[in-house]
Amino acid sequence: MRIFKLLSAFFKVNVQMSLAYRADTVVNILLNLMWLGWELLSLNIIFNNTDTLGGWGLGELIALLGVFRLVNTMMIAFIWPNTEKFNQSIRDGSMDYTILQPVSSMFLVTFSRITVWRFWDLILATVLIVVGVNMSAETTTAPQILTFILLAITGMIIIYSLWIILIALTFWFVKFDNNVTILQALMDSGRYPATVYPAWLRIIVTFIIPIAVATTIPLQALRGELSAIQIAVFFAVSVISFFVASRVWKAGLRQYSGASS
């Protein structure tokens, strides 16, 4: 209950902030639509030249684009702006205030900045997923949809955990403001099924910077390609990675306060 109160308070503050830059918000939405147009055009170009990409049809790729936009919304709405704020708060010392607030600092660091207008992307993403799934010939069962939702969430938790670990490293290496570039750089790989990539790239986006875990894999679940054991493994990995991330975060705070030295 309390968490919702806090979230809504953060949300309100961020709505205020984006209202201060109203015209920019409109321009950003237009640009976002332009990129959606480009993404659909590029899929159209690909499928003018082929029927399948890595074994997937056009409908599936549209659905994948939807999943990708879902993950990307998390990135753009929360992760990038909060990374910026975090790096700045380390530089100017306002991190001290964050730590002294009676709320988990990991929570504060995650939600203090929200790019509010990006939420409208959730609608776009949902439309893309629904349209895409309908276009692909196979019938989808209710359990498949449920595992899809579950795996999309676990995938996002895994990426989120990686992010926490990356920014927590700043507590040890103060001059680490490139902390999330690697995550940002590989993000674009999520637009296409990981099966088309050469083995070395597939390994990177599945195991090291697991973008594919949040994009390709949930969609495979939707298509009923994953076994129950595989689903259980992804679920377990997300729980473990969240646990590890919060441990690393706490160790980072101890480093910051000098308790570990």
Partner 1 sequence: MFLIFKRLWQVNWAEQWQYRANLLMYLFYWLVSPIIYLAVWTSIANVKGSVNGFTANDFITYYMVLLICDQMTSNIVIHTFAYKIQDGTLSGELIKPIHPLLTNGLVNNIAFKVLTIMGLLPIWIILFFLFKPNFSGVAITGVLLSIPIMVVAFFIGYLLSAAITSLAFWTTRVYSIHEFYFALILLFSGQFVPLPLMPKLIQDIAQYLPFQLFLYFPIQLILGKLSTDQIILGYVMAGVWLVIAIVTFNWVWRQGVKQYSAVGA
Partner 2 sequence: MSATIQVDQLSKTYKVPERKGGFGAAVRSFFKRKYKEVKAVQEVNFTIERGEIVGFLGPNGAGKTTTLKMLSGLLHPTNGKANVLGFTPWELKQEYLRSITLVMGQRNRLSWDIPAADSFLLNQAIYRLSDDEYKKTYKELDELLELEPLMKKPVRNLSLGERMKCEIAAGLLHRPKVLFLDEPTIGLDITGQVRIREFLREYNKRTGATILLTSHYMADVTALCERIIIIHHGQLKYDGGITNLSKKIAPFKLIGVMLAESNSHDLSKYGTPVQNEEDWEKRYIQVKAEDVTRITSRLLADLPIHDITIADPPIEDVIEQAFNS
List contacts with partner 1 (CB under 8 A).
Answer: 23-24, 27-28, 31, 34-35, 38, 41-42, 44-46, 48-50, 52-54, 178, 181-182, 184-186, 188-189, 191-192, 196-198, 200-201
Residue 22 or 247: which CB sits closer to partner 1? Answer: 22
3-state secondary structure of 154: helix
Give the nearest distance from C-beta 189 to partner 1 in angstroms.
Answer: 6
Which one of partner 1, partner 2, none is in contact with 103 (Cβ closer than 5 to 8 A by kind)? partner 2
Residue 153 or 186: which CB sits closer to partner 1? Answer: 186
Task: Return residues touching partner 2 (CB under 8 A).
Answer: 2, 5-6, 8-10, 12-13, 16-17, 20-21, 92-94, 96-97, 99-103, 254, 257-259, 261
Which one of partner 2, partner 1, none is in contact with 201 (Cβ closer than 5 to 8 A by kind)? partner 1
Residue 178 or 257: which CB sits closer to partner 2? Answer: 257
Residue 52 or 134: which CB sits closer to partner 1? Answer: 52
Residue 61 or 133: which CB sits closer to partner 1? Answer: 61
Give the nearest distance from C-beta 113 to partner 1 in angstroms.
Answer: 19
By C-alpha distance, which of 196, 192, 238 is closest to 216? 192
Give the nearest distance from C-beta 200 to partner 2 in angstroms.
Answer: 28
3-state SS track over the chain: CHHHHHHHHHHHHHHHHHHHCHHHHHHHHHHHHHHHHHHHHHHHHHHHHCCCECCECHHHHHHHHHHHHHHHHHHHHHHHHHHHHHHHHHHHCCHHHHHCCCCCHHHHHHHCCCCHHHHHHHHHHHHHHHHHHHHCCCCCCHHHHHHHHHHHHHHHHHHHHHHHHHHHHHHCCCCCCCCCHHHHHHHHHHHCCHHHCCHHHHHHHHHHCCHHHHCHHHHHHHCCCCCHHHHHHHHHHHHHHHHHHHHHHHHHHHHHHCCCC
Which one of partner 1, partner 2, none is in contact with 141 (Cβ closer than 5 to 8 A by kind)? none
Give the nearest distance from C-beta 201 to partner 1 in angstroms.
Answer: 7
